[in-house]
Amino acid sequence: MKLFSCLMALLLFLLQAVPGLGLPKDTLRCVGYHGFCFHSKSCPEPFAAFGTCSRRQKTCCIDTTSNFHTCQDEGGHCVPPQIKCVQEQVGLCPNRGWKCCTEV
């Protein structure tokens, strides 16, 4: 029984120590954009909603006072990678790999 307890403690330690191990994909994406997962559907100020967390059970919120602004906040729109932008804009897009453009 003592060996089992030690193995469980080691497993829990590894799950906490290895980034991303065991986390849902939407949570990993949120954390990758320096976001936070909130239980409520709306984000408190100065955060803005940026997708979901925990398999769509929570809201991913990003800090609007940081350098991580959404594409729409910066006056652009998100397009898939195969579309060529005339002018790219700095900003985050909710879909991985998409880019922020001011003109297409």
Ordered by where they begin, the domains of the chain are: 23-67 (3.10.360), 69-103 (2.20.20)
Burial (CB < 10 A; 0-12, 13-18, 19+), residue 60, is: buried
pTM of the model: 0.48
Cβ-Cβ contacts under 8 Å for 58 (sequence gap 6 or more): 37, 38, 39, 52
The pLDDT, as a whole number, for residue 19 is 53
Q: Which two tokens stand for residue 27?
A: 């949570």
**pLDDT, mean over the chain:** 75
The pLDDT, as a whole number, for residue 21 is 58
Q: How far is the C-alpha of 54 from the C-alpha of 26, rounded, in Å?
A: 7
Closest of 92, 22, 100 to residue 62, by C-alpha: 92
Question: Per-residue confidence at 7, pLDDT binned at 50, 70, 90?
Answer: very low
Question: Per-residue confidence at 6, pLDDT binned at 50, 70, 90?
Answer: very low
